[in-house]
Amino acid sequence: MSTTLSNSSVYAPGADITAEASAAVTARRFLAISGNRASGGNVSVAPATAAGRVCGVAGNDAASGELVTVVRGNSRVVKVTADGAITAFAEVEVGTAGKAKAKASGIAVGYAINGAADGADAEISLY
């Protein structure tokens, strides 16, 4: 007899989710969970804190209270605005305003699959 876990899953691995911004967010920047679910049932997100953890990348701009697509998934390659130059295969952490920066002392959230200049789109493979 097999047991199915489909009713136990909240999100499938790697699936994008719709969240509600609790602060203004900018597309192609890292996001973090900012609190409990919003009143409409969506996960609450805000720009990720420098050197902190992430839940994904903003797929669109959103003002506080608006919906935002959270692009997520282990080993998924996404575009994130670079905060300083990043070399190919360098690990990255969250920099200023949710941008990707070469890892210094923060939490590694992925690695660059190609080099990127400051302010350009960095192609990041997410952890």
pLDDT at residue 7, as a whole number: 60
Residue 89 CB neighbour total at 10 angstroms? 11
- 6/42 Cα distance (integer angstroms): 20
**How many folded domains does the chain comprise?**
2
CA atoms within 13 A on the CB side of 70: 26
Q: Tell whether 56 and 95 lie within a shared domain.
A: no
Residue 86 lies in a domain: yes
- pLDDT band for position 34 (cuts 50, 70, 90): very high
Residue 61 lies in a domain: yes
- pLDDT band for position 121 (cuts 50, 70, 90): very high
Per the structure, the complete domain to which residue 94 belongs is given by 77-126
Residue 27 lies in a domain: yes
Q: Tell whether 61 and 32 lie within a shared domain.
A: yes
Residue 7 lies in a domain: no
Q: What is the pLDDT of residues 53-86, one digit of tens each?
A: 999 999 999 999 999 999 999 999 999 999 999 9
Residue 11 lies in a domain: no
Q: Tell whether 39 and 64 lie within a shared domain.
A: yes
Residue 1 lies in a domain: no
Residue 115 lies in a domain: yes
pLDDT at residue 14, as a whole number: 73
Judged against a pLDDT cut of 90, whether residue 12 lies above it is answered with no
